Structures are given as C-alpha cells and as structure tokens.
Amino acid sequence: MAQYNTLLYYCYSTIADAEQFAADHLKFCKSLGLTGRIIVAAEGLNGTVSGTTEACKTYMDTVHADPRFAGIDFKVDVVDTPSFVKMHVRYKSEIVHSGLRDPNVINPQQQTGKHLEPKDFLAMKDRDDVVVLDVRSNYEHSLGKFKNAVTLDIENFRDFPEMINQLAQYKDKKILTYCTGGIKCEKASALLLHEGFKDVYQLHGGIIKYGKEAGGEDFEGKCYVFDNRLSVDVNSVNPVVISTCRNCGKVTPKMINCANPECNEHFTQCDECGTKLEGCCSDACQSHPRKREYDGTGYYVKVPQPVNVQKKGKIQLAGE
C-alpha cells in the first residue's frame, strides 16, 4: 500500500512576476502527481500539497534548491490517502488575506514577533506576565485552542486589524501569538509591533509543529486544517474535546462545511444531526435547491479556478 504525505508550508519571499510563477508552478506540481492548494503572491508562497512520499520529497528538494525558498519549514504529515482531490495554484495579492498590503507598514521579511520554538512556547505560555493570543477565525478556535488563550470574534483573518484596540489592555504583557502553521502570526505579530506592543512573540510552525514537537500539551480540542481532513489531532499528552454540535449541543469533535454551497459555513455537527440535516446547518439550507450530496465527511471539492497560463517557452519551476 502506497504511503502518502501532506506538506504544510509558507514563505515570505519576494517573487518577481508572481502570476507567471503560479502558472509555471502548477505545471510543476502536476508533473509530480501532487494534489493541493497553493497561493502565490509577490510576497511569497502559502501551500498545502499532498502526494506520494517520493513525489513530496522531490517537491521539497526542488523548492529548497531555489534560494528564495531555501528557508521553508515543511510540516510533514503521513496520511493514508492524498488530502486533496485536485491541484490548484492561484495568484493573489496576498498569501494570507489580511488587507495589510503596504510593505512600508507591514513587512514580515523585515519585522515580526520573536519566533518561539514549541518547547519554548510551552515553557512560557502559563507565566503571569504572558498572554497567549489565538489569531485565527471563530470556526477554527471553536474546534480547538490553547487552554486559557485569548480568542477574537472574527469571521476571517482580514478582520484582525479591527480588533487591535480590544487588545490594548495587554500592552504591558508578553504576547504569544499562534495559528495553524505560523503564516497568520507573521502579519499579526508585525501589526501588533506597529501598533505599539513592545514584547511580541509567535509560535514557530504553529499548532501543527507544536503537536509534533511538544506533544500538543494543553491544546484543547482538534486543529482545523484547510484540506479534506478538515481537522487533525494535536494533543497526545492531555487531550480533551471542547467543541459542541451547533444543532443539538452534544459534545463532538467533528467539523464540516454546510452542504448548501451558498452558505458553506464551517461549523461543528455530530453525526446524528449530520444524518438528519444531510450535512446542513439548518432546515433552510437543507431545503436549498443547490444542496450538495452529503457523504458524511462534510468536505466538498472546490471548482477549479484558472491561473495565468501565457506560454513563455518551456514551462519549468521559476528560478531554475
């Protein structure tokens, strides 16, 4: 039986002609038989890809050989089947949507919070002079978060800048930010510093790396991931389930997307309510004419979106 890997990574590094790079990189990924989702912007890369162990190794080796991406820290999960169905590489204005696009104000290549390795984060997180800050969205931290972490009422990371004033009470504390893999913390910590917070840190490699290197201690619940697994276990030391079914209130670790594509809300739902509502968050969504067929997973393949595919000679990994 073939063994597969799923790679989670990001890199803030300037990419000239990023739109063409996205088209070239898509060809490269498909040549390896990979599936996944990668965002390319002038500021860098943000990706999750999945494939055979051999294909993933070739991908990592090739990307690391490019000086722009030599420092990428790949988080590697062993999986039974690929974590995606298709391969997408998309060009966007940012590799994580924050609205913080002016590099003269926020530039993770120049200034971010101090990176903490998982063991150092573990050692610091319960100190009286420390505040642990979750910079993820509501649906993510409702599924799982660090014990006693401060969470924000935001639907998307782009709402984070609006919450800075609510964090002013913590300006005299050490702020330890965390997210899934680290990418959101790069901009969140940079913005906190820009807004006058003096002592800002970030969990290097995010929750995923913390689970691998620190046993996930005191991370309560599961971690939402952006592939067809939807969530993964993190804590092998003192695990608990903290999420509840939106419909009946029963404790459940299961996260799904609403089967109504016009809703597509991320929410927690037990199997019983999932069967009853056919994977929908409400009766109204269940009766929607475009409702997708619910197979018990709550994951739906997104319709592919094209990237710039102008032909400029032989397609190869940009920078080779």
Any long-range contacts for 105-110 (C-beta under 8 Å, 24+ apart)? 105/194, 106/187, 106/190, 106/191, 106/194, 107/190, 108/12, 108/43, 108/186, 108/187, 108/190, 109/12, 109/13, 109/14, 109/43
| Dist CA 291 CA 249 (whole Å) | 24
Q: What is the amino acid identity at position 237?
A: V
| Dist CA 253 CA 231 (whole Å) | 9
Q: Is 179 part of the annotated catalytic residue set?
A: yes
Residue with tokens 């050490």: 174
Taking alpha carbons only, the member of 220, 151, 161 closest to residue 189 is 161
* Active-site hit among 179, 270, 281, 285: 179
CA angle (121 as vertex; 101, 229 as ends), nearest 5:
65
| Dist CA 232 CA 143 (whole Å) | 10
Other CB atoms within 10 A of residue 160 CB: 22
Q: Is 36 left (phi over 0), alpha (psi -120 to 50) or beta?
A: left
Other CB atoms within 10 A of residue 257 CB: 20
Do 166 and 242 contact (CB within 8 A), yes or no? no
Residue with tokens 């912007």: 41
Supply the residues annotated as catalytic: 179
